[in-house]
A = this chain, B = another copy of it.
Amino acid sequence: MTGPLVPTPDASCRLRPVTTARLDGGLLAERQRVNGEAAVPSGHERLRAAGNLDNLRIAAGEAAGELRGPVFMDSDVYKWLEAAAWEYARAPRPALLEAQRAVTAVVAAAQRADGYLNSMVRERYRDLPWSHEHYCAGHLMQAAVAQSRATGDKALLEVAVRFADHLVATFGPGRTEDVDGHPVVEMGLVELYRETGRAGYLELARWFVQARGHGLIEKHGHEPTYFSDRVPVRDQRTVEGHAVRAVYLTAGAADVALETGDDALLQALRRQFAHMLATKTYLTGGLGSRWEGESFGDPYELPPDRAYAETCAAVGGIQWAWRMLLATGDAAYADAAERMLLNGFLAGVSLTGTEYFYVNPLQLRAGAHSDENRSPAHGRRGWFNCACCPPNVMRTVASLGAYLATTDADGIQIQMYAPSTIEADGVRLAVETGYPWDGLIRVRVLESPQREWTLSMRVPPWARGAVLQGDDAEPGGYAHVRRTWQAGDVVELRLPMTVRVTTADERVDAVRGCVALERGPLVYAVEHPSADDLTFEAVASAEFRPELLGGVTVIGLTARIGEHRERPWPYAADRPAWSGERAEVEAVPYFAWANRGTGPMRVWLPDGRR
Binding site for B on A (CB under 8 A): 223-226, 230, 240, 274-275, 277-279, 283, 290-292, 297-301, 303-306, 332, 363, 365-372, 461, 500-514, 516, 532-533, 535, 562, 566-575, 578, 604, 606
Contacts and interface: CB of A to CB of B under 8 A. Distances in A.
A525 B506 CA distance: 19
A516 B571 contact: yes
Contact of A571 (B240, B298, B503): B503
A514 B512 contact: yes
Contacts of A566: 275, 278-279
Nearest to A375: B292
Contact of A502 (B503, B506, B562, B572): B572
Nearest to A278: B566
Given A277-B568, A509-B511, 14 more contacts: A223-B371, A226-B371, A278-B567, A278-B568, A278-B570, A291-B291, A300-B532, A303-B305, A304-B509, A306-B306, A502-B572, A503-B571, A503-B572, A510-B510
A571 B502 contact: yes
Nearest to A508: B570
A526 to B, nearest CB: 14
A566 B237 CA distance: 13
A500 B573 CA distance: 7
Q: How many copies does the complex hold?
A: 2
A575 B298 CA distance: 23
22 contacts: A223-B371, A224-B371, A226-B371, A240-B369, A274-B568, A292-B292, A299-B365, A299-B366, A300-B532, A300-B570, A304-B509, A332-B568, A461-B569, A501-B573, A502-B573, A503-B575, A504-B570, A504-B571, A505-B570, A505-B575, A506-B562, A507-B570
A35 to B, nearest CB: 30
- State the majority secondary structure of interface residues on A: loop
A223 B375 CA distance: 13
B306 A290 contact: yes
Contacts of A569: 277-278, 461
A602 to B, nearest CB: 9
Contacts of A604: 509
Most chain B beta-carbon contacts within 10 A, residue among A292, A504, A578 = A292
Contacts of A372: 223, 292
Contacts of A506: 533, 535, 562, 578, 606
A45 to B, nearest CB: 25
B573 A503 contact: yes
Contact of A300 (B292, B365, B508): B365
Nearest to A512: B513
A91 to B, nearest CB: 37
Contacts of A508: 570
Contacts of A370: 225
A562 B505 CA distance: 12
A298 B304 CA distance: 13
Nearest to A502: B571
Contacts of A500: 573
A595 B505 CA distance: 30
Contacts of A503: 571-575
Contact of A367 (B298, B568, B571): B298
